[in-house]
Amino acid sequence: MTGRDPFLSGHLALVTGASRNLGAEIALAMATAGARVVVNYHSSRQAALDVLARLPGAGHVAVGADAGTPAGVDRLVTESERLTGQVVDIVVNNAGPFSMTPYAQLDPTEFDLIWNTNVRAAYLAARRTAAGMTEAGWGRIVNISAGSAYLRNHSVYSLAKDAMITLTEQLAVELGPSVVVNCVAPGQIVESAQDMAAFDPGFVARTTARTPAGRLATRADVAGVVLALCSPAFDLVTGATVPVDGGARLAVG
């Protein structure tokens, strides 16, 4: 897939947490494939506008909302459809802050933030958009998990990202056949390596050394898989989780 085929022309893709990092790259991939894109942001409208300015095509919008609350998701979808005049038929649940605070020291407020912005947000977005997709007879939901789903030392983040996989499988059963639901689990991403180093200085080097592919994933690698899951080639793939980690999860040590 070259990314130049406008196979998503006529579709409206909502990407949560799209004002920076992986979300911005996914928004670019969607727009390159012809979709109109809603760039969701939580705090920085200017950052979202900067992403819009880089997207090819026309009709893209930025909508601020907290994807972890029912009111925020309702506003996000309502405003997206009002501004574009289209039904949201692609949702990429990308928003999801990180934590590896040990449970014994984990404040309940931090637990709620990680859980709500990851798992609860994905459930709320699916709940709010499923009817429109079903009525249209076509829809795609892609949840973003993480390599942390396969680890047991990343605290509530591991719990949340593991739950994203189960949620994906359950939604696939409930929403088929019109709506296809899949999940992508990126390993350590190159561009975020310095962020991870602040938590564990040796993690990136250890992970790279044991990765069968010999390198870490880039944001573009992950965005390409998200895009592929929205393509006709994956019409019969639902309830699946695709790790994008170069095989790191399989290595021992």
Q: Residues 6 or more apart from 166 whose CB is under 8 A from it?
A: none
Which residue out of 41, 123, 150, 157 is catalytically annotated?
157
> What whole-number distance in Å separates Cα of residue 220 and Cα of residue 202?
24
Known catalytic membership, residue 157? yes
> What whole-number distance in Å separates Cα of residue 224 and Cα of residue 232?
14
> What whole-number distance in Å separates Cα of residue 218 and Cα of residue 238?
24
Known catalytic membership, residue 103? no
What b/e readout covers 115-147, taking b as 16+ CB neighbours within 10 angstroms?
A: bbbbbbbbbbbbebbbebbeeeeebbbbbbbbb
Q: In the chain, which ranges are continuous DSSP H helix?
A: 21-32, 45-54, 70-84, 108-115, 121-136, 155-175, 193-199, 203-210, 219-229
Work out the angle between the directed axes of helices 121-136 and 155-175 (0-180°, nearest 10): 20
Q: Which of the residues are catalytic? A: 157, 161
